[in-house]
Structure formats: structure tokens, C-alpha cells
Structure 1
Amino acid sequence: MTAFLTIIIVLFIAIAIWQMVKIFDLAQVGTSNSQIADDKDNKLNGYLMIGFLVFIYVITIVSIVKWGDLPLLSNSASEHGPQIDNLMTISLVIIFIVQTITQFLLHYFAFKYKGEKGRKALFYADNNKLEAIWTIIPVITLAGLIIYGLFTWTSIMNVDEDADPLVVELYAQQFNWKARYAGQDNVLGMANVRLIDNDRANILGLDEADPNAQDDVITTELHLPVGKPVLFKMRSQDVLHSAYMPHFRAQMNCVPGMITQFAFTPTITTAEMRQNPDIVDKVKNINDIRTEKSKELVAGGEEALDPYEFDYLLLCNKICGKSHYNMQMKIIVETQEEYDAWIKEQATFKNTITAN
């Protein structure tokens, strides 16, 4: 497949160079090499335009048949996820319709009104009706999308404090994540990067004198109870990061010197998502590739790759340095009972500091 794509790219480059050379020759007016396009040239270019139009439609149909199921739009795991997916689907449908119509008109008109000897083009200085049509339609369409998007964004970002959301801090630093749970009081203690003291295991700079910080819990794995609203407070220690949780349709920048926030309610546990047919197929494809790769590694005297198992992930979606690609943290969505059992096993900030 790679070789085929390489050949196609090289072919397109060669065609582009050939066309550029022809344009250069045509531009040499008054020289012995000057050329004037005749009916044969115009007809050839007209048919080429139709041929390219057919190519566009064929490659589009093939892509839709082969990869058009858009599985990412069928496995959202948050309460607001379907709203985001619906907005994305509407946008894609509109783009597809507009692209199909405009590309057809562009290439068909280039063919239909190709230059012919003795035929003179009819020139319109302006056409108020046409200009009104192609101005009003995009304005209405875009206004509708923008208004719908604003209502969607507002509904997502308006956190219902009466729902008593679980408060969790996502702490970003090159190149890892830490999660800080607010403890029994559900209030995060004060923190500042200037208070970081690795010798005392105060890795996030919590204020040791703040009573709200004493029961905070710091972990390297994010556990969330299903069906429980979660309010994330986000900080960055060094550079601009972006907390991106694709399956929860959530993303928010982590900015040094300020606290940003995002909230959502997980709706599907990790165990349930692993049974999703799209995820099952994806995991199978990945493990088939890993199996083949493992054979090569074993033949070379190296260890085989472990089988892949699906997990939700927290990723960094900003290029934050050389190890940006590896900045991720596993997210486990589980039942309330499983979450309660896990959080009880975690050491509080007070116990961690006392032990050090």
C-alpha cells in the first residue's frame, strides 16, 4: 500500500512539473517558443477536467465504503458526547454536500465552456441575484452551525453545582500527568508550584497548612465512577499542555499560572466499552499487527510485544516537547462500589507527608 501511494505521489508531482513547464512556455509571448492554445488543447483540458472529477468521486466513494463508518462517532462515553457527535455529523454532511455540488459545477463548467474558435464568452459585470444567493445561503448555514455550536458548548460548560460533582485536579508537567482527588470534603487544597518539595513528597506544591489539602489524594492513574458528574480543575507546571480525553469528547488547555476547568459525566465503564463491537474490532486489528511485529522481534532476539487491551486515555494534545507523544495517563471508569474501594486504598496527602 505504501509503495502504491508513493507511485501515485510521484506521478502527480511529474504531472504538476509538466503542467508548470507548459504554463512557462505559454507565458513566453513574442518568442520563438510561444504557443497558443488551440481547440484541440482546450478539448483535451476539458476532458481532463471531467476525468479528474470522476477520479474525485470514485476515490470519495471508495473511501466512504472502506473507511466511512466513522467508528469514533459511535463510541462516546460521556453524557454530552452525543451532542458533540451530532454537531460533527451535521458539519460533515453539509461539507460533503457542498463539496460534491461545487466540485461538479467547477469541473463541468470548465468542460462545457472550454475555449472554441469563433465562440466569444458572455461577460457579466455583475449579477445581484446570483451574488445574493451565494452570500445568503452560506450566511444562514454558518449562522445555524455557530448558534447550534454555542448552545452545545454552553450546555457542556455550565456546571451544575447542585449535582455535587466529584472534584479532581489534572496536573500537567513535562511529560506526565498526575491526578489529585479532593478527598472526603470534596474541596481541593491550595497549591502553588513554588511549594513543590520533592524531599517531602510534596510533588504538586500543596499548601501543608491548608486543612482542605490534608485529605487530598494524589495518583498516577485516573479512576472515575460511572454516572457521577466530575469537575476537573487543570494546572500546568511548566508549558502549555492540553488535557484531551477523546472518548469523553473533552479537551481543555492546561495553562501555567492559571486554573482551567471542564466537567462531564462518564456513562460507560471501561469493562463495558471493551465489549463495544467497534472497540473489539480495533483491538483485534492492533493485536494482529503486534503479533506480526512480535515474530520479527523474536527472530531478532528481542522480546515479543504484549497483547493490547483497550483503556480510556488522558492525552496531551499540545506539542509540549520531545516526549509529547508519550504523555498519557490511563483512565478507568468503574462502578461506584469499585471506585469507593479503590479510593480507600490510596494514601492521603497528610499521610504521605507524615511518612516523609
Structure 2
Amino acid sequence: MEANKVKQIHSFGQSIWLDFIDRSIISSGNLKKLINEDGISGVTSNPSIFEKAITGSTAYNNEIRMLAEGDRSNEDIFFGLAITDIKNAADVFRIVYDEANGADGFVSLEVSPFLALKTGETAKQALKLWKEIDRRNVMIKIPATQPGLAAIRSSIAAGININITLLFGLPRYEEVVEAYLSGLEDRLAKNKAIDQISSVASFFLSRIDVMVDPMIDEKDLSGLKGKIAIASAKKAYEIFKRAFSGPRWERLAAKGAKVQRLLWASTSSKDPSFKDTKYIEALIGPDTVNTIPLETIAAFRDHGIAANTLGEDLDEATEILSRLKKGGIDLAMVTQKLEDEGIEKFNKAFENLLLAIEKQKTKA
């Protein structure tokens, strides 16, 4: 029998996480099945995922009404629901975490999207969620906004596992790495251990191509369509390898520091003319994670091709981004717009979620 194609990815040093969570996938045993059969080794969530989970199911109704009996806000009720799910999922993945000696098996929960541009409040809520969940194999998600960078640094220094989200551009990724390294150094300066801290930097991919491809068509830049996100990811991997080597990193590694893995997010193909496993196959390589929705996992299981591809064609990736710039497309402007739209999208999903909770509270 042919080996499971999703599991094959792990042999190249990449972890596959599930970009989805709801109560039924945990209680039904299907999450455990994904671990056993596909080697899934983590879970990511975001406001949009929780909106669909809570508004599309009756599984949360009783707990909503129970939590509403106090004077909790709708946001507090949401986090009560989410924390229950995250704890339960983390417990399912604890065996993965233990077997990997703390290198994998993580479940992520995001701070309120309303705080994306508020440094102090983001750091405060990250610490609060970390303490309330009380699981070593949990990551708190903080967006890679400019105000988010200081919150990332202070949270790492506080010993919290952080998943940096809504990351689109290479210059911002450089700043994210700096925030991680500086946070570790801040913690060491206080004589605190850094060997238990884990972090990933989540680079959003397919959304880049969705935004830039129409610009490529307008400027008739033949041969670049559908290539910018993958080229950006390959260049990010170059930055990763440079940042996590050399004297500065070696000093941290000697104290037990773990590399901050790159995580590929938004990896389902949005353009029907692309292969549905495009953003999986092109970016398989060591010390990385790909978080994938259920339907894309199923597609890769059926017809995906696992190979060590991430380190290939780096010169071509450089040339692709150079051609884009010469063609008059400002990628920095594109990625900033994507960040702004990402915040807006998560805010809208969160608003809809809070409205659904309000409606459910009033039902008998």
C-alpha cells in the first residue's frame, strides 16, 4: 500500500497543521484520526474559523446561555467558548508535543482582532489567554502589525509561545524575526530560561497572488502570474536561514532556544486555474510548517506530490520579484494593503460572531 501522501511531507522536515477547529471535530474523534492517519501535528484558528464554527453549529448554544448568566460581555463569552475548544484540542495534541520534545503539537488562539493596532492591550490579553488556557502546547496569535511587534517581543520575553499572524511582506518578516530574537535576549537578561519557548511566523501566501495577479495582467507581465507568493516565501526562507545562524543565534541556541519556524498560511488555491495543492507542493522544506484546511488536506492525500522543494530555484525567485518591481508593481504597497484588509476581514468576522452570540443569549 502506498504511504499516505500527507505523512510523506514530514520526512522532509515540515509539519502539517490543520487550519480549522470546531467542537465536533474534537468530540467525534476525527481530530485524533487526522493525527494518526495523516500525521497532522497542530491546529491553527482565527476569528473567521471560529465565526463559522459557532454560527454554523448548535454545539455552543448551551454554553453561550450558561456563560451569559453572569455579566460577561459577548467578547468574554466568545473567549470562554474558544478556550474550551483550545484546551480540548491541546489535550488531543499533547502526545504529539511530548513525543516531539516540545517541538510540535501546538494549538493556536488569536488575541481579539480589535487589538491589532494596540501594543499594550495586545500584550496584556496574550498573557491573560496564556494563563487561562494553561497548556504548554498552545500558541497565542499576535498579528505582525507595526504596533504588534513590540507586543510580540514582550510576550516572548514573558515566556509565552507566540504565533505571529497576518504576515505578508519580507521587510516586516525581518522585523518579526528581530522581535523574536530580542524577546529571547530580554528574557535571558533577567536570568530566565528560554528553552521552553516556541514560535512560528505565519506568512500568508495565496492572498498575495489574488491581489497582485490582476495587476500583472494589466501590465502584461507574462510569466509572473501565480508566482509572486511562492517567490516571496522562498526569499523569506533565505532570511530565516540567515537569521538562525551565526554568533547571535548560536549564543541563544546554546541556552536552548528554538528556531522560530516559518509557517505557510492561506495555502488553499483561490484561483481555479491553479492546481489545488500548488501552495503545498512548492514550499516543502525543513524547519517549516504548513497549515492547511480540511479540503486541501484531502486533495493532497489524493494527488499531492511530496518533495523537498523549498530550497530550489532561489535565483529564479529573486528574478521574479525583480521583474515585478521593474514592471512597476510595488510589492510593499500590496502587502501593506493585504495587512489592512486582513485586519478588516477578521474584525468583520469577529463582529458577526459577537452578534450571533448576542442573538443566542436571548433564546429560551
- When the two structures are superposed, what TM-score results if normalisation uses the length of structure 1? 0.24
- When the two structures are superposed, what TM-score results if normalisation uses the length of structure 2? 0.23
Q: Normalized per residue, which structure has more strand? A: 1
Larger radius of gyration: 1
Q: Normalized per residue, which structure has more helix? A: 2
